[in-house]
Structure 1
Amino acid sequence: MTNKMANPVSGSISSQKFVLSKAYLLLAVSFIPCALGALAGAVVNPMALLGGGWMGIILFFAFLYGMVFFIEKNRYNKIGIALLQVFTFSMGMMIGPVLGMLLGSAAGTQIVFSAAIMTVAVFAAMTFAAHKSKADTAAMSRFLLVGAVVLMTAVIANLFFKIPAVSLAISAVFVVFSSLMIMWQTKAVIEGGETSYISAALTIFISIYNIFSNLLHLLMALTGND
């Protein structure tokens, strides 16, 4: 009788593939409530419901980071999945008014279509890079953490100064930053550094959302529709 021993490396790889496949499945499902939210947001402006102005901005950021916190607290159970769907619906509502305005014209529809195609291309490229790159995930994590702090500081500062050129520069940097986030998160799952498919789906969703919304902003400015 032969004594068959489990291969720990093979088991680890299988686990990583499982987490990544589940993350992609959850990510795909999460775009359904996001699309429904966008339809709702095209009819009812969510910022108006939040009071508009600074009150609306403060409530939006409080909701955004609050939801991320609670999703991460439930990153290994079904509550986390449910909260993620609420989160993506709400994020869809936030971009709904812009999409509603753009899709009302042929030029606007082309902008949305172009931004969507570019976003898919970036996602595919970063996913491929994550599988092929030999980049140090820990070093990327430190770099992205610093980048996130700098970006958020710039966003908050520009809420006060409202300089169009700075706003466009922030959007361009957000596209690059979010692209690297997709690569980093995917690579973290592949290497076993991320074991929650809910957390992975959340990070990749936010990154895709940021790429798409900021590409919309850039294309609108370049075509004079901003």
Structure 2
Amino acid sequence: TYWLLAATLVPTVFGAWFGVATGLVSSLRGGLGLVVFLGGAFAFMYAIEKTKNSATGVAVLLGFTFFMGLMLSRLVSMVLGFSNGTQLIMTAFGGTAGVFFVMASLATVIKRDLSGMGKFLFVGAMVLLVGSVINIFIGSTAGMMAISVAAIAIFSAYMLYDLKQIVDGGETNYISATLRLYLDLFNVFQSLLMLLGIAGGERD
């Protein structure tokens, strides 16, 4: 699972680079960008679910991570517009890696069953999604910061939950396990980068 998780980062980086280089995603603004993102993401996740017991599932998963990198490119491009953009991206990457390390350590230490967290985290994620959709149309910077902070907290907790499920044998399919961890990492990184961009971005 962890090797496959590491492998998913390659298409993500390539997708983000491709998106920044071509400006493909930058043209998808507001509601259109949201529709493309949600439509593409759910289509890929449906395909992954259908192919998770075969080698095809790995290819679909890697295709999904390229798509997610592509969708991330708009934010990456915005952050790279700051004079300290590269530093912010590396900080977000380091912060995400730190969160993963802490949660992985906790997952092996905590003996308590965390399966009850699932329903609360799901509700939190849905509230977050609704808030994000509303904020796309409102365009509030303060709202975006609040959503980013909440997303970091929720998906860090989700990371602990998913890692604990893997450790305890609650999730035995390596493709499904990788997908869940990837989404946790992606959301933490994206939210952290957004927060850093808003709070720490410097113009020349």
TM-score (norm 2): 0.91
Distance 2:26 2:149 in 1: 27
Match of 2:109 among 111, 132, 136: 132
* SS at structure 2 position matched to 1:138: coil
The gaps in structure 1 that reach 5 residues or longer are 1-22
Is the Cα contact below 8 Å between 2:12 and 2:67 reproduced in 1?
A: yes
| 1:77 counterpart letter in structure 2 | S
Match of 2:50 among 68, 73, 81: 73
* Higher Cα Rg, which structure: 1
Number of aligned pairs? 203
| 1:120 counterpart letter in structure 2 | A
Instruction: Give the match for residue 20 of structure 2.
Output: 42
What percent of counterpart residues are identical? 34
Alignment of 1:1-226 (within 5 A): 23-48=1-26, 51-103=28-80, 106-225=83-202
Shift of 1:96: 2.2
Distance 1:46 1:65 in 2: 20
| 2:151 counterpart letter in structure 1 | F
Instruction: Give the match for residue 6 of structure 1.
Output: none
Is the Cα contact below 8 Å between 1:42 and 1:98 reproduced in 2?
A: no
Shift of 1:61: 0.8
Are residues 99 and 160 of structure 1, via their aligned partners in 2, closer, same or farther at CA, if it must alter by over 3 Å?
A: closer
Distance 1:151 1:97 in 2: 20
Shift of 1:172: 0.5
* SS at structure 1 position matched to 2:3: helix
* SS at structure 1 position matched to 2:32: helix
| 1:80 counterpart letter in structure 2 | G
The gaps in structure 2 that reach 5 residues or longer are none
